[in-house]
Structures are given as C-alpha cells and as structure tokens.
C-alpha cells in the first residue's frame, strides 16, 4: 500500500451547499438595495434555440427570481442580424434598470461573438468576458471576474486552502475558464502550469499538482493515476457519459480515492457559476447606488 495515499475518500466540496450560503448573502444585499430604491436587474439575451443554452438561460432567470433580482429574458430568432443584436445591447447599456447584461453563447455563426461581447458596457459585463474585464484581471485591477473561475476560487476558499507557493495545474486555456482561472491562481501566489491539447505528458504535470482544475470538455481527462495523493481537484467539465448522464472531465469514482478534496458533477462548479453571476450583478447594482 502506498503510505502517502489517503486512507479515506476525498472530502467533497459541495457546490450546492456553498451556493446556498452565498445566495443568502445575495438576497440580503438585494434587500438592502431595494430599501434604497434599486432593484438589481439582469438582462439575458438568447439568440436561436440551442437546447443547452435554453437550459442555462432558464436556470439563470430562475436563480435571479429566487434571490429577488429582476431579470429580463430577451429571446430572438436565429436569423437575427448582428446589427440588430448590437442595437439591442446598446439599448440595454443605457437602461438604468439593467445592471448586468449577458448574451448566452454560442451565438449563431453569422454573428461575431467577439463584437457582441465588446458591445456590452464593461460596467455591465457581469459575465466578465469583455476585453476590459480580461485586461483588468491580467493587471490586477478591479473588474468583473468570469463567473466559473470566480466560483472555483470560492470553492478553494471554502476549504481554507492557502494557494501560496502551491503548484496549480489548469487543464484548458479557454478565454472564459482556463486562462482567467490561471490568472486568479497566480494572483494568490500559486505556481501555475497551464495545459492544453498540445501538452506533452499531462500526467507528469498533474502528478506534481497540489491543485488541479480540469476545464476541457472531455470525459476521463483526469484519472486516479494522474493525481497526487491529497490534491484538490476541481472539475469544471460538463459532458455526458455513455448512459447520457451529466459528468465532468474527472473520473470521479477513481480520483476521489486519491484526492484530498474533489468537486462533483453535477452539484459542483455548475451551481457556483450561476451564483457568481448573481454576485456580479449585485456588485454592479451596488456601484450604481
Ligand atoms: P473550450 O473552449 O473547448 O476549451 C477546452 C480546452 O481544453 C482547450 O484549451 C483545449 O486545448 C483543451 N483540451 C482539449 N483536449 C485536451 C486534452 N486532451 N488535454 C488537455 N487539454 C485539452 O472549453 P471551455 O469553454 O473552457 O469549457 C471547458 C469545459 O467546461 C466544457 O465541458 C464546458 O461545458 C465546461 N464549462 C462548465 C461550466 C460550469 O459552469 N460548470 C462553465 C463553463 C464551461 P486547445 O486550446 O489546445 O484546443
């Protein structure tokens, strides 16, 4: 038996429970804003009828209602022109009742997603995707943090994990998850390695990691033999297994026998992402108060 191998399975970092705690705080802040005559408002724009987007949008609107925020869902047919979408965003930028604007991605192919993101006022960029928000994160200035990496950091904080000097390996380098995740870990003085599809010998890197964040979108990218005993494993991935059930990038059953902490899918990062969207929207409204 490997003497360093934990004798009990990993502690689960429960994203549903942590979200519930954070959403109580969101509700309190919403009430305080309402007492001052401000109802935090989120506009969610959906173009087309991508089934996954429909679910995400529905969950976001419901989360707003549950926490007392005002939300507007604007739905458009898939043939909406880019010009018309940009005009709508311009109107929402100027709407004083709207503190956060979110355009659900992906948008149809004839619309330039970057143009759409850049059209959102950075002051209302509660998804944290605008180039100004990304730049602020890069140089350590205040700005909206992308919700998924922000939620992952809250999960690490919830277990009191001190990142200083620790080795964090982020698998994935997308603009919305991998790269901002790496920046946030770096801000906390972790030593960060970013892996991607061209990384050679991923296992050699993950085996050195005190923290692994998997944000790939492929099942079983991280298996038990790739994890250092006691490491913290954050699973961002959202995939379907062979039975069609939601699963992450991590071989959960195997890895939880080795890791010290692990986030489940479902019930891990997913709920946290929506919670941080609410937090960003509240923060935006508070800046207007
Ligand atoms: P993405 O834009 O497709 O990026 C995936 C990244 O994984 C890319 O950087 C890619 O490398 C890398 N990659 C692909 N195959 C790999 C491999 N075999 N080994 C190492 N790296 C590999 O995806 P994303 O938007 O970041 O999302 C990632 C996953 O998280 C998806 O499953 C998505 O559904 C999920 N997600 C979940 C939430 C949530 O709230 N739970 C939020 C957002 C995303 P290259 O850059 O070299 O192509």
Chain segment 156-203, per-residue pLDDT in tens: 999 999 999 999 999 999 999 999 999 999 999 999 999 999 999 999
pTM: 0.96
> Which of 1-5, 53-57, 127-131, 225-229 shows the lowest per-residue confidence on average (mean pLDDT)?
1-5
The CB of 238 under 6 Å from ligand 1? The reply is: yes
Pairing state between β 232-235 and 261-262: parallel
171 lines ligand 1 (CB under 6 A): yes
Going by CA atoms, what residue is nearest to atom 2 of ligand 1? Answer: 174
Report CA 192 to chain centroid distance, whole Å: 18
> How far, CA to CA in Å, does 50 sit from each of 83, 127, 146, 273?
21, 19, 22, 19
Ligand 1: which of 196, 204, 221 to mutate, most ligand atoms within 8 Å of CB? 196
Digit-coded pLDDT (tens) for 80-131: 999 999 999 999 999 999 999 999 999 999 999 999 999 999 999 999 999 9
Judged by DSSP in three states, 207 sits in coil
Q: Which of 152, 164, 155 is nearest to 128 (CA)?
A: 152
∠ CA 226-208-237 to the nearest 5 degrees? 50
First to last CA, the chain: 59
Residue 289's pLDDT band (cuts 50, 70, 90): confident
Atom of ligand 1 nearest to the CA of 269: 41
- Spatial contact of 182 and 211, defined as CB atoms under 8 Å apart: no
- Which residues, including other chains, have CB under 8 Å from residue 231's CB and lie 6 or more apart? 209, 210, 211, 212, 258, 259, 260
Q: Is the confidence at residue 5, as pLDDT, over 90? A: no
Torsion sign across C-alpha atoms 151, 156, 157, 162: negative
Q: How close is the Cα of 140 to the center of ligand 1, in Å?
A: 24
The whole-angstrom separation of Cα 221 and Cα 256 is 14
- C-beta 234 within 6 A of ligand 1: no
Candidate list 124, 125, 127, 179, residue with the active-site label: 127
**Cβ partners under 8 Å of residue 279, min gap 6:** 22, 26, 150
For 122-162, write each residue's pLDDT tens digit: 999 999 999 999 999 999 999 999 999 999 999 999 999 99
Find, among 84, 165, 150, 94, the residue nearest to 124 by Cα.
Answer: 94
Q: Which domains does the chain show, CATH number per domain?
A: 37-121 (3.40.50.10860), 146-269 (3.40.50.720)
Nearest CA to ligand 1 atom 30: 237
In whole angstroms, give the CA distance from residue 140 to residue 47.
33
- pLDDT at 4 > cutoff 80: no
Pocket test for ligand 1, best of 172, 198, 237 (most atoms within 8 A of CB): 172
Contact 250, 237 (CB under 8 A): yes
pLDDT in tens, 239-274: 999 999 999 999 999 999 999 999 999 999 999 999
Q: Which ligand 1 atom is nearest residue 177's CA? A: 26
Among protein residues, the one with the nearest Cα to ligand 1's atom 48 is 197
As a whole number of angstroms, the distance between CA 70 and CA 99 comes to: 10
197 lines ligand 1 (CB under 6 A): yes
């Amino acid at each position: 038996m490997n003497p360093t191998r934990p004798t009990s399975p990993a502690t689960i970092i429960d994203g549903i429970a942590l979200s519930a705690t954070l959403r109580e705080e969101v509700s309190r802040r919403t009430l305080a804003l309402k007492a001052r005559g401000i109802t935090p408002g989120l506009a969610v724009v959906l173009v087309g009828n991508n089934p996954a987007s429909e679910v995400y949008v529905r969950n976001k609107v419901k989360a707003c209602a549950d926490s007392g925020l005002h939300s507007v869902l604007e739905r458009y047919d898939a043939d909406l022109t880019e010009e018309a979408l940009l005009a709508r965003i311009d109107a929402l930028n100027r709407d004083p009742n709207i503190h956060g604007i979110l355009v659900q991605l992906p948008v149809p192919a004839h619309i330039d997603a970057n143009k759409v993101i850049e059209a959102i006022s950075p002051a209302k960029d509660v998804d944290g995707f605008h180039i100004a928000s990304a730049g602020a994160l890069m140089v350590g200035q205040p700005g909206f943090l992308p919700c998924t990496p922000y939620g992952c950091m809250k999960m690490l904080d919830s277990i009191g994990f001190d990142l200083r000097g620790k080795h964090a390996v982020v698998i994935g380098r997308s603009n919305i998850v991998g790269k901002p995740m790496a920046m946030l870990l770096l801000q906390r003085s972790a030593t960060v390695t970013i892996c991607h599809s061209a990384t050679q010998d991923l296992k050699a890197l993950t085996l050195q990691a005190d923290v692994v964040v998997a944000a790939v979108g492929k099942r079983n990218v991280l298996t038990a033999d790739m994890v250092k005993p006691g490491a913290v494993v954050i699973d961002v991935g959202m995939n379907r297994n062979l039975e069609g059930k939601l699963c992450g990038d991590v071989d959960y059953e195997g890895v939880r026998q080795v890791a010290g902490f692990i986030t489940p899918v479902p019930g891990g990062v997913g709920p946290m992402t929506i919670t941080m969207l609410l937090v960003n929207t509240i923060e935006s409204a508070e800046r207007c108060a």
